[in-house]
C-alpha cells in the first residue's frame, strides 16, 4: 500500500474542505472502455488529506494497464483527472502523475448502460456514507454489482456479448432489496430491534420496563419516556452483554462534584439485567459515598480514570450493603480493572478511614491493573473470599494514625466479630488467593503500607487457616509501622503457601513474617535492609505445632537481627541454598530456637547455604545457631566466611539441644570452632 498525504489548498492558498474519490480502472478486451473496479474515499479537513476514520490514507499501486480516476469535490465544485499510484511507501498528493492523455484514451462509443448503472450505484453508496451509514454496509450493494460485472467480463467473447451480459447483470439487481439490506444494517447499528424479535408487549410501571415496543432508539437510559424506549436497549444488552457508561447516567468529570448517584444508577441497571460491564471512562470522577456492587457478574472497567473521594466516608468500594451473606454466598464473579482510586487518607477532611476495596463472603474476584492510594486501613481487603486474583496493581500511601496499626495493603481476613465485617459472623476463612506482580510503596502524600499482603488476626480460640495462598513476583519498596506489623509480607494463619520471586526492601519489621503456617515455601526472594529479621517463621503460641516449611534460594542482604529464624514448635523444615550477607553483629545468620517446648523444632535440615562477612564478639554465638530444645537437626554442606576479629563459632548448639548432626561444612577466615551441645551426633569432619 502507498500512503498518500499532503495539504490541499484553493487558488487563494486557503485550506480546502471536502472529499476526494479514487476509482481504479482497467481495460477490457472490447475497445478502450474503462470499468470501475473499486472505490476509495478520502476526506480533506482544513487541507489535510486523511482516511474517513482519521487514519493515514493509502491505496495499492496500479497494476499494469490500469489507471486511477481522481474526482475532487470541494465547495460544490467537481474536477476529474487521471493518475497512476506508484509502487512506493508514500507519495505527496501533489506529486501524483497526470496520465490522462497517454494512458487513458477515450471510448469511441461512450459509456454503455451497465457502466452508467455501476456509476449510479457508486454515487448512491457515497451518498449513503454521507448520511451516516457504516462504510462496510454502504459498500455492500456496490461490491455485489461489481462482482456481477466482473463475471460478465470473464465470460464475454465479443463487445456485444460483454454489453448484453453486463446489462443483464445490472437488471437482475433489485434496488429495493439492496436498500432494505442497507437500512437493516443501519437500524442494528442505531440500536433498533425488529418488533417480531421482542418478547410480548406489556405496560410500563414505576418499577418495570416491558421488553416490547415498536422499535426505536432509547433516548435516555435513566428516564425512559414510554414502553418503547427502555425495551430495545435492555433487550440488546441481554443478548450481547450489558454495558453501562456512567456518563449516560449523568456522571460529570470533576475534582469536586460527586458522580456517586450516576454510578449507583448504572450498577442498578446492570444488576437488573443479571450483570454486565460498568464503564468509568478516562477523566477524574468524584464519589461522595461507597460504591456498592449490588449483584453478581459485574465488571468495572476504569482504565485511564481517576476516582477520588469528595466527601468523608469509609470504604471506597464493596460488594455488600449492610449485613454480609455468610460463607461464600455474597455477590460474586466480580472484576475491577484499571483506574487510580484515591481515598485521600492523608487529608484530615477525609479521616473516616476505611478500605479502598472490601470484598466479603464471595467467590471469584479479579482486581487487575488498579492503583489504590492514600488509605487509612487497607488498600484491598478480602474477607471470607474463595478465589481472588490480584495482579499488576500498585498500592501507594498508607496514612498511619496510631501505632501499632497493621496497615497491610492486602489483608486476607476471616468473617469473625472484630474483623471489620458487618456480620453475621461464621468464621469463614479465605481460600485460593493469588497476588501476582503487585507493588507496595509510599505515595507522594503518605508513607508505605505495613505489608504488601498479610493477616493479623482470627476468631479467638479458632484453629482455622486460610488455604492455598500464592504471592509471586511482587515488589515491596518500603514499609512503615512497628517492628511486628511493618513486615514486607505477613503470612499468619495460612496453609499451603507459596511466596516466590518477591523483592522486599527497607522494611521496619521482617522481610517475611510467617506465623502459625503449615506447608509453606519461600523461594527465590530478595530481601534487603530489614530492620528486624530477613525471614522469621514461628508458631503462636510456641506450643502450637506447625508443619512443613522450605526456605530456598533466597538472597538476604542486611538485617538488624538474624537473617533466618525458626522459632517455637515447627517440624519438617528445610533451609537450603540461600545467600546471606551483612547480618547484624553477634546475631546468627540462621537460627533454630525451640524456646521452652521440649518437642519443638524437630526434623530441620540446614544445607547448602552461603554466609559472608559474618561477625560475633564472643564464642557463645554461632553463625548457625541451634538453641532451646531443638532436636533432630541436620547442618551440612554450608559455607561461611567472617570478618577480621570474629570470635564467634561456625555452628553453636547449646546444651538443651539433642540429635544434632553437624557434618561437612566449611567455615573459613577467622572462625574458631564448631561448638556442639548435649546429644550432638557428630561435629566432624568440618573444615575450620
342 or 107: whose pLDDT is higher? 342
Residue 312 lies inside a defined structural domain of this protein: no
Residue 388 lies inside a defined structural domain of this protein: no
Beta carbons of 562 and 590 less than 8 angstroms apart: yes
Beta carbons of 438 and 392 less than 8 angstroms apart: yes
Instruction: Please confirm whether the linkage preceding 541 is cis (ω < 30° from 0).
Output: yes
pLDDT at residue number 674: 80
> What is the chain's mean pLDDT, rounded?
80
Lowest mean pLDDT among 11-15, 237-241, 663-667: 237-241
Beta carbons of 149 and 167 less than 8 angstroms apart: no
pLDDT at residue number 571: 77
pLDDT at residue number 171: 54
pLDDT at residue number 393: 97
pLDDT at residue number 112: 45
Question: Mean pLDDT across the stretch 90-107?
Answer: 68
pLDDT at residue number 163: 44
Residue 377 lies inside a defined structural domain of this protein: no
- Highest mean pLDDT: which of 176-180, 512-516, 568-572? 512-516
Residue 397 lies inside a defined structural domain of this protein: no
Say yes or no to pLDDT of 289 above 60: yes
Residue ranges with strand state E in 16-142: 18-27, 34-45, 48-51, 57-59, 66-74, 77-83, 90-92
Enter the pTM of the model.
0.67
Q: CA distances (Å), 686 to each of 430, 611, 639, 674, in order?
A: 47, 16, 10, 8
Name which of 145, 153, 147 is nearest 171 in CA terms: 145
CA-CA distance, 423 to 415, in Å (whole number)?
Answer: 7
Residue 600 lies inside a defined structural domain of this protein: yes
- Which set of grid coordinates corresponds to residue 137? 454496509
pLDDT band at 338 (very low <50, low <70, confident <90, very high): very high
Beta carbons of 98 and 133 less than 8 angstroms apart: no
432 or 50: whose pLDDT is higher? 432
User: Strand 371-375 vs strand 340-342: parallel, antiparallel, or unpaired?
Assistant: parallel
76 or 626: whose pLDDT is higher? 626
Say yes or no to pLDDT of 527 above 80: yes
Domains in the chain, number: 2
pLDDT at residue number 531: 95
Task: State how far Cα 588 lies from the chain centre.
Answer: 42
Residue 376 lies inside a defined structural domain of this protein: no
Q: Give the helix/strand (H/E) hosting 2.
A: strand 2-5
What percent of the chain is predicted at pLDDT more than 90? 45
Residue 416 lies inside a defined structural domain of this protein: no
Lowest mean pLDDT among 217-221, 319-323, 365-369: 217-221
pLDDT band at 180 (very low <50, low <70, confident <90, very high): low
Say yes or no to pLDDT of 360 above 50: yes
CA-CA distance, 635 to 650, in Å (whole number)?
Answer: 11
pLDDT band at 224 (very low <50, low <70, confident <90, very high): very low
Look at residues 189, 213, 230 and tell me which one is the last residue of a structural domain: 189
Structural domain of 32 = 2-189
Look at residues 157, 189, 221 and tell me which one is the last residue of a structural domain: 189
pLDDT at residue number 502: 97
> Tens digits of per-residue pLDDT, 102-140?
444 444 334 444 445 555 665 666 666 667 665 555 555
pLDDT at residue number 73: 87
User: Strand 57-59 vs strand 243-245: parallel, antiparallel, or unpaired?
Assistant: unpaired
Q: Note the residue count of the chain.
A: 688
Which H, E and C letters describe 550-582, residue by residue? EEECCEEEEECCCCEEEECCEEEEEEECCEEEE
Residue 486: CB atoms within 10 A of its CB come to: 28
> Tens digits of per-residue pLDDT, 420-469?
777 788 999 999 999 999 999 999 999 999 899 999 888 887 889 999 99
Q: How large is the C-alpha radius of gyration of the chain?
A: 37
Say yes or no to pLDDT of 194 above 60: no
pLDDT at residue number 546: 65
Say yes or no to pLDDT of 193 above 80: no
pLDDT at residue number 25: 64
Residue 199 lies inside a defined structural domain of this protein: no
CA-CA distance, 92 to 3, in Å (whole number)?
Answer: 8
Question: Mean pLDDT across the stretch 190-198?
Answer: 51
pLDDT at residue number 623: 94
656 or 131: whose pLDDT is higher? 656
Look at residues 189, 211, 237 and tell me which one is the last residue of a structural domain: 189
pLDDT at residue number 613: 93
Say yes or no to pLDDT of 683 above 50: yes
Residues in Cβ contact with 380 at an 8 Å cutoff, skipping those fewer than 6 apart: 355, 356, 357, 358, 359, 367, 372, 390, 393, 395, 409, 410, 411
Lowest mean pLDDT among 61-70, 134-143, 324-333, 489-498: 134-143
- Highest mean pLDDT: which of 17-21, 75-79, 206-210? 17-21
CA-CA distance, 290 to 397, in Å (whole number)?
Answer: 20
- Highest mean pLDDT: which of 68-77, 145-154, 540-549? 68-77
pLDDT at residue number 226: 47
Largest CA distance in the chain: 117
Three-state SS for 459?
A: coil
> Tens digits of per-residue pLDDT, 610-650?
999 999 998 888 999 998 888 889 999 999 999 998 988 99
pLDDT band at 266 (very low <50, low <70, confident <90, very high): very high
pLDDT at residue number 156: 43
Say yes or no to pLDDT of 286 above 70: yes
Amino acid at each position: 500500500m502507498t500512503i498518500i498525504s499532503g495539504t490541499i489548498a484553493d487558488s487563494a492558498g486557503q485550506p480546502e474542505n471536502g472529499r476526494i474519490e479514487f476509482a481504479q480502472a482497467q481495460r477490457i478486451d472490447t475497445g478502450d472502455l474503462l470499468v470501475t473496479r473499486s472505490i476509495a474515499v478520502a476526506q480533506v479537513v482544513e487541507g489535510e488529506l486523511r482516511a474517513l476514520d482519521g487514519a493515514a490514507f493509502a491505496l495499492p499501486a496500479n497494476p499494469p494497464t490500469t489507471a486511477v480516476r481522481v474526482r475532487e469535490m470541494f465547495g460544490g465544485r467537481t474536477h476529474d483527472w487521471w493518475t497512476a499510484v506508484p509502487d512506493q511507501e508514500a507519495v505527496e498528493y501533489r506529486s501524483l502523475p497526470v496520465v490522462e492523455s497517454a494512458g487513458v484514451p477515450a471510448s469511441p462509443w461512450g459509456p454503455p448502460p451497465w457502466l452508467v448503472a455501476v456509476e449510479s450505484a457508486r454515487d448512491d453508496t457515497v451518498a449513503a456514507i454521507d448520511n451516516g451509514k457504516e462504510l462496510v454496509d454502504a459498500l455492500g450493494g456496490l461490491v455485489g454489482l461489481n462482482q456481477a460485472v466482473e463475471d460478465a467480463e470473464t465470460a464475454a467473447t465479443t463487445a456485444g456479448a460483454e454489453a448484453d451480459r453486463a446489462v443483464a447483470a445490472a437488471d437482475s439487481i433489485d434496488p429495493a432489496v439492496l436498500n432494505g439490506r442497507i437500512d437493516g444494517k443501519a437500524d442494528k447499528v442505531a440500536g433498533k430491534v425488529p418488533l417480531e424479535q421482542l418478547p410480548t408487549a406489556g405496560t410500563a410501571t414505576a418499577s418495570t420496563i416491558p421488553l416490547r415496543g415498536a422499535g426505536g432508539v432509547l433516548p435516555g437510559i435513566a428516564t425512559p419516556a414510554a414502553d418503547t424506549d427502555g425495551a430495545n436497549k435492555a433487550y440488546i444488552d441481554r443478548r450481547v452483554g450489558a454495558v453501562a457508561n456512567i456518563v449516560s447516567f449523568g456522571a460529570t468529570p470533576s475534582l469536586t462534584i460527586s458522580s456517586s448517584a450516576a454510578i449507583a444508577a448504572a450498577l442498578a441497571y446492570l444488576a437488573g439485567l443479571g450483570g454486565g460491564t460498568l464503564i468509568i471512562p478516562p477523566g477524574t470522577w468524584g464519589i461522595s459515598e461507597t460504591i456498592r456492587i449490588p449483584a453478581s457478574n459485574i465488571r468495572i472497567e476504569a482504565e485511564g480514570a481517576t476516582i477520588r473521594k469528595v466527601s468523608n466516608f469509609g470504604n471506597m468500594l464493596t460488594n455488600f450493603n449492610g449485613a454480609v451473606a455468610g460463607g461464600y454466598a455474597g455477590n460474586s464473579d466480580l472484576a475491577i480493572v484499571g483506574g487510580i482510586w484515591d481515598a485521600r487518607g492523608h487529608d484530615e477532611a477525609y479521616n473516616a478511614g476505611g478500605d479502598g476495596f472490601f470484598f466479603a463472603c464471595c467467590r471469584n474476584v479479579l482486581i487487575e491493573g488498579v492503583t489504590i492510594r492514600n488509605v487509612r486501613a487497607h488498600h484491598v481487603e478480602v474477607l471470607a473470599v474463595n478465589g481472588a486474583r490480584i495482579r499488576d496493581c500498585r498500592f501507594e500511601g498508607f496514612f498511619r494514625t496510631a501505632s501499632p496499626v497493621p496497615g497491610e495493603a492486602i489483608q486476607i481476613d476471616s468473617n469473625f466479630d472484630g474483623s471489620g465485617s458487618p456480620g453475621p459472623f461464621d468464621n469463614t476463612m479465605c481460600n485460593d488467593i493469588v497476588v501476582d506482580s503487585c507493588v507496595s510503596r509510599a505515595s507522594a502524600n503518605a508513607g508505605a503500607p505495613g505489608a504488601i499482603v498479610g493477616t493479623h488476626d482470627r476468631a479467638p480460640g479458632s484453629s482455622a487457616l486460610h488455604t492455598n495462598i500464592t504471592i509471586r513476583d511482587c515488589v515491596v519498596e518500603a514499609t512503615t509501622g512497628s517492628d511486628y506489623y511493618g513486615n514486607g509480607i505477613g503470612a499468619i494463619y495460612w496453609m499451603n503457601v507459596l511466596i516466590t520471586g518477591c523483592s522486599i526492601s527497607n522494611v521496619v519489621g521482617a522481610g517475611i513474617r510467617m506465623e502459625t503456617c503449615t506447608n509453606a515455601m519461600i523461594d527465590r526472594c530478595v530481601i534487603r535492609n530489614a530492620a528486624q529479621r530477613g525471614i522469621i517463621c514461628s508458631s503462636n503460641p510456641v506450643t502450637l505445632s506447625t508443619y512443613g516449611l522450605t526456605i530456598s534460594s533466597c538472597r538476604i542482604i542486611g538485617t538488624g537481627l538474624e537473617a533466618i529464624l525458626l522459632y517455637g514448635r515447627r517440624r519438617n523444615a528445610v533451609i537450603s541454598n540461600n545467600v546471606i550477607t551483612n547480618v547484624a553483629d553477634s546475631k546468627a545468620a540462621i537460627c533454630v530456637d525451640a524456646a521452652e517446648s521440649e518437642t519443638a523444632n524437630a526434623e530441620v535440615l540446614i544445607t547448602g547455604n552461603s554466609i559472608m562477612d559474618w561477625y560475633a564478639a564472643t564464642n557463645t554465638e554461632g553463625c548457625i545457631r541451634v538453641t532451646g530444645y531443638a532436636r533432630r537437626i541436620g547442618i551440612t554442606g554450608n559455607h561461611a566466611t567472617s570478618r577480621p576479629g570474629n570470635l564467634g563459632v561456625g555452628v553453636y548448639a547449646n546444651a538443651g539441644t539433642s540429635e544434632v548432626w553437624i557434618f561437612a561444612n566449611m567455615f573459613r577466615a577467622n572462625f574458631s570452632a564448631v561448638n556442639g551441645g548435649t546429644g550432638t551426633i557428630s561435629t566432624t569432619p568440618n573444615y575450620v
